[in-house]
DNA sequence: TTGAAAGCGCTAACAG
DNA sequence: CTGTTAGCGCTTTCAA
């Protein structure tokens, strides 16, 4: 076997010649386009199989579509994304479209690089998962290619959105804890200063949902929010701060599972037990939340459903670029586990 | 802002006109190719900036390169991949190349689909991470595009490889446990029947490494391997089996962290404590192994280094497709944590 | 050093 | 229903 032999690939011309038809005919068969008799289709398909022909996506893209969907993933480490991704690829695997993930890694700049790269490659559509870029950038992307934005609140006329209701998710947790008898329920949020992001980012909505739910339960005076970041360290620091309060909270609602991990660590260090002395809840129902030694009460976003909807909306928008934008909102569910229980007497 | 307005993009012709030069000149500047005076370069670059021109990757690919690198990822859930990915993207971010991930999901078929899609898009190179496909498929891919295979033992003349030494990693664990005083050290492996895969897949090498290390320590008669799968459930079942032995092992080396999670669960169910009654070790040093409540002893593969090497080899091979293939082998390190300790008296 | 012209592989527009 | 023709946006000859 030759190392990467640049042997000429089979082209549409080869197929046409082999099948004794025009390239146009082959093209029509490839695209299932109108204007080819059944016999011709059969003949062409046979030639394609016999020659092992595969169309060159780049060349197709020069005139038509590239049959490529780009998914921008800000943080591949986030254990919540695989579910969404499965939903997307599952919906697309019976289509001609192929999904490629662009690692959006490090903030706005990396996101911009990836989206530009997707546009440079004329991808037919883009799904942006929990982007942190300013809205103007999202709209700029959306104005040049069909786009669906996932995990970001607020709507735009130029892109469709799919979100899970973070306000509802937060109240699921608060209600659950209050139902167990807790009153001093604290929350650890991700610090957010930018006003647009305060309105659009899931973390901010969760904090709002917490406040709303507390008020609805008549626990307004117990509202206690610590601002750190959605990291294990953020959870650790936030919990340290809470554990220094004159009156300890009996429950901590961490805005994300990873934050809850830091909380568990700090609580253990303080010699307190979970859930005996203090209940802890997270958000996202990540893989490790379910692990035996952790067993963290959390909120499950219907990741698979989110992905399915995103894919569906994108296909619809590719088919009709000027239809009005759509917003899909899904509801989360509570997953109670062993880190939450009745407060100490 | 128009919803996805198909407004004509700036092309190389626009740039050429704006700069008052030929398209050939612009092309040369784009590719840093030989044959353009400094003044011309400056003029062209200015035009590019002024017009906000970005080359169409697909069109470039029709004659030259696509400046796209594909990374096939079999299982996006595996917490070990992000490190490798960071290594790859880090090495490539100062180049013209853009990385896209292909979700290889469900076994050979999905892997084939993704690699074909990458080839259809004329990606300039492919990195396959821990592929499960038969070697013939890997070689077929490699024969049509520069390829680096990561996390798979055995070499091929047509592709380069980067692996972490799994035999060494296994012996790190066994030596660690033996050093603590353990003699009855059992191992849970991933069942592998295919002979090529037994030789090439990391899981099989780990099992071999375990046996080798046990023999080297004179513990040959204590060798005890249970074959299940690299899943939490596999770990659970494997541990159940081990806990039914007439003489219990004092330590269990699980072939992967996720397997160790299942082991911890089974051990807890049996009313035994870790590491008091039984020590447990994993492999991969995944994110959750470090979490406080888990604190699992594990083996860290130098993921970042693996990624860096893979990217470097790929660029070298893209530059010279007929150079002899290269194999890089890196060494893992032990990360002792709280799940391993001296055996009970 | 520069640019004109051909062509990469495909699809769209059109004519038969 | 079928085929011919003209590009898509770029790189690569090859001549000037």
B83-93 pLDDT per residue, tens: 899 999 999 99
**For position B20, which CATH number holds?**
1.10.260.40
pLDDT above 70 for A133: yes
Within a domain: A337: no
Report whether pLDDT(B8) > 80: no
Question: Within this chain, do residues B42 and B77 fall inside the same structural domain, yes or no?
Answer: no
In this structure, are A183 and A306 located in the same domain?
no
Which nucleotides of chain D are near protein (any atom < 7 Å from a CB)?
1-5, 7-13
The per-residue pLDDT for range B291-334, each reduced to its tens digit, is 888 899 999 999 999 999 999 999 999 999 989 999 999 999 99
Nearest to A71 by CA among A9, A2, A129: A129
B58 close to A (CB below 8 A): yes
pLDDT (tens digit per residue) in A262-296: 999 999 999 999 999 999 999 999 888 988 888 99
Query: Given this model, what pLDDT does residue B128 score?
Result: 97
> Residue B5's pLDDT band (boundaries 50, 70, 90)?
very low
A39 lies in some domain: yes
A48 phi and psi angles, rounded to 5 deg? -60, -45
Task: Report the share of chain A in percent with pLDDT over 70.
Answer: 98
Same domain membership, residue A179 and residue A215: yes
Number of domains in chain A: 3
pLDDT band per the 50, 70, 90 thresholds, residue A7 = low
- What is the C-alpha to C-alpha distance for residues B77 and A81, in angstroms, rounded to an integer? 9
A1 assigned to some structural domain: no
pLDDT tens digits for range A205-237: 999 999 999 999 999 999 999 999 998 999 999
Q: How far is the CA of B63 from the C1' of C10 (A)?
A: 13
Q: Is there contact between B37 and strand C, defined as CB under 7 Å from any strand atom? A: yes
Answer yes or no: is pLDDT of A305 > 70. yes
Residue B97 shares a structural domain with residue B172: no
**Do B178 and B243 fall within a single domain?**
yes
The verdict on B24 touching A (C-beta cutoff 8 Å) is: no
* Residue B48 included in any domain: yes
Does the CB of A285 have a partner CB in chain B at under 8 Å? no
Strand D lies under 7 A from the Cβ of residue A244: no
Task: Tell me the CA–C1' distance in angstroms for B13 and D13.
Answer: 19
Q: Which pLDDT belongs to residue A194?
A: 86
Length A174 CA → C3 C1' (Å): 71
Range of the domain at A48: 12-54
* Statement: the CB of A31 is under 7 Å from strand C: yes
Segment A55-112, tens digit of pLDDT: 999 999 999 899 999 999 988 887 788 889 999 999 999 999 999 999 987 789 999 9
Determine whether the distance from the CB of A30 to the nearest atom of strand C is below 7 Å: yes
Average pLDDT over residues B132-154: 95
Residue A280 phi, psi (nearest 5): -135, 135
The answer to whether residues A160 and A171 belong to one domain is no
Rounded to the nearest integer, the mean pLDDT of chain B is 93
Cα–Cα dist B327/B306, whole Å: 12
Give the model's pLDDT for residue A201: 92
- The answer to whether residue A175 scores a pLDDT higher than 50 is yes
User: Do B181 and B264 lie in a common domain?
Assistant: yes
Please check whether residue A344 lies inside any domain of the structure: no
> Does residue A238 belong to any structural domain of this protein?
yes
The least confident of A97-106, A231-240, A305-314, B176-185 is: A97-106
Residues A221 and A152 in one domain: no
Question: B139: which chain A residues are within 8 Å (Cβ-Cβ)?
Answer: 1
Q: Would you say residue B199 has pLDDT above 60?
A: yes
Size of interface A-B (CB pairs under 8 A): 186
Cα–Cα dist A286/A309, whole Å: 20
Identify the CATH number of the domain in which residue A143 sits.
3.40.50.2300
Q: Check pLDDT > 80 for residue B262.
A: yes
B32 and B92 belong to one structural domain: no
The reply to whether residue B58 touches residue A66, judged by beta carbons under 8 angstroms, is yes
Q: Quick one: A50 and A95 in the same domain?
A: no
B306 and B283: one domain?
Answer: no
Summarised one tens digit per residue, pLDDT across range B20-56 is 999 999 999 999 998 889 999 999 999 999 999 999 9
Residue B343 lies in a domain: no
**Whether A296 and A309 share a structural domain:** no
Which of residues 178 through 237 in chain B touch A, CB cutoff 8 A?
Answer: 232
Strands B298-300 and B333-335: antiparallel
Instruction: Specify the pTM.
Output: 0.93
How far, in Å, are A124, A142, B66, B92, B119 from residue A70 at the CA level?
8, 13, 16, 19, 17
When scoring A103, A106, A338 by the number of chain B Cβ atoms within 10 A, the one with the most, hence best to mutate, is: A103
Give A 73-132 residues with CB within 8 A of chain B.
Answer: 73, 76-77, 79, 81-82, 85, 89, 98-103, 105, 113-114, 116-117, 119-122
CA distances from A43 to A21, A34, A235, B231, B307 (A): 9, 16, 64, 47, 46
Examine residue A339 and state whether it is found in any structural domain, yes or no.
Answer: no
B62:A66 CB<8 A: no
Q: Which residue has the higher pLDDT, B129 or B81?
A: B129
Residue B64 touches partner A, C-beta closer than 8 Å: no
């Amino acid at each position: 076997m030759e190392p990467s032999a640049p042997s000429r690939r089979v082209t549409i011309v080869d197929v046409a010649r082999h099948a004794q038809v025009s390239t146009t005919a082959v093209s029509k068969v490839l695209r299932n386009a109108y204007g080819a008799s059944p016999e011709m289709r059969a003949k062409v398909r046979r030639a394609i199989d016999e020659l092992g022909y595969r169309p060159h996506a780049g060349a197709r893209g020069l005139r038509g579509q590239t049959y490529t969907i780009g998914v921008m993933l800000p943080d591949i480490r986030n254990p919540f994304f695989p579910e969404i991704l499965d939903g997307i690829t599952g919906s697309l695997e019976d289509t001609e479209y192929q999904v490629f993930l662009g690692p959006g890694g490090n903030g706005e700049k990396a996101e911009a690089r990836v989206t530009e790269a997707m546009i440079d490659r004329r991808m037919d559509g883009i799904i942006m998962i929990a982007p942190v870029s300013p809205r103007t950038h999202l709209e700029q992307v959306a104005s040049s290619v069909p786009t669906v934005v996932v995990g970001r609140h607020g709507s735009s006329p130029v892109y469709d959105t799919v979100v899970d209701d973070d306000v509802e998710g937060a109240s699921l947790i608060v209600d659950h804890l209050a139902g167990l008898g807790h009153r001093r329920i604290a929350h650890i949020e991700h610090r957010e200063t930018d006003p647009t992001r305060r309105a659009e980012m899931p973390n901010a909505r969760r904090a709002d949902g917490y406040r709303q739910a507390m008020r609805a339960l008549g626990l307004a005076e117990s509202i206690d929010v610590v601002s750190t970041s959605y990291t294990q360290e953020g959870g650790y620091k936030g919990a340290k701060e809470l554990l220094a309060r004159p009156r300890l909270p009996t429950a901590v609602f961490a805005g994300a599972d990873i934050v809850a991990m830091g909380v568990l660590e700090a609580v253990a260090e303080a010699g307190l037990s979970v859930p005996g002395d203090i209940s802890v809840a997270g958000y996202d129902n990540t893989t490790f939340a379910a692990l035996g030694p952790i067993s963290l009460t959390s909120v499950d976003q219907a990741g698979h459903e989110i992905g399915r909807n995103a894919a569906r909306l994108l296909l619809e928008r590719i088919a009709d670029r000027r239809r009005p934008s759509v917003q899909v909102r899904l509801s989360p569910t509570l997953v109670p586990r062993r880190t939450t229980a009745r407060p100490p007497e």
